[in-house]
Structure 1
């Protein structure tokens, strides 16, 4: 049973932005989230856990990108989340440096 055309994105530009937000934006958010966790918690455990939870989070973020009405809004949210997690990672590396 084909999808109803009125629910599909008509603009090719919006479709391109949703696809790139799903693949690239979801990946950036997923990786930056786990890197932020690794800067505060035990790195070995986070890296092992990331093999599974990173993929699951990426798939969830892909689905959310296609459920959004506006591709620009989802890109903005993904960029803000990535910057937030990178800031947390920076603070974690500043206040919790690796001692070898």
Structure 2
């Protein structure tokens, strides 16, 4: 049974934005989140954990991107989250520099 057309994205640009946000945006958020964690906590433990939780978070963010109404909005949210986590990672590096 095919999907109801009223729930599908009508424009090609909207589909491209959602697909790119799902793949690239989700990856950027996932990586920046784990980098922020690694800068504040024990790096070895976070790196080991990232092998599993990074993929799970990336898939969850992919699903969220396709549930969003607008590709532009989900890109905005993902860029804001990436910037926030990158800022936290930067602050973590200032407070806890590598020895």
- TM-score of the pair, normalised by structure 2: 0.99
Unaligned runs of 5+ in 1: none
Find the aligned partners of 1:27 and 1:6 in 2 and give their Cα distance.
Answer: 29
- TM-score of the pair, normalised by structure 1: 0.98
Structure 1 segments, 4+ long, off by >6 Å, are none
Aligned to 1:37: 37
Task: Give the CA deviation at 1:19.
Answer: 0.1
Alignment of 1:52-67 (within 5 A): 52-67=52-67
Find the aligned partners of 1:26 and 1:82 in 2 and give their Cα distance.
Answer: 9
Aligned to 1:25: 25
Find the aligned partners of 2:30 and 2:43 in 1 and give their Cα distance.
Answer: 16
Find the aligned partners of 2:68 and 2:29 in 1 and give their Cα distance.
Answer: 16
Find the aligned partners of 1:87 and 1:40 in 2 and give their Cα distance.
Answer: 12
Task: Give the CA deviation at 1:6.
Answer: 1.0
- SS, match of residue 2 in structure 1: coil
- SS, match of residue 3 in structure 2: coil
Alignment of 1:1-100 (within 5 A): 1-99=1-99
Unaligned runs of 5+ in 2: none
Find the aligned partners of 2:30 and 2:21 in 1 and give their Cα distance.
Answer: 12
Alignment length, in residue pairs? 99
RMSD: 0.4
Find the aligned partners of 1:11 and 1:45 in 2 and give their Cα distance.
Answer: 44
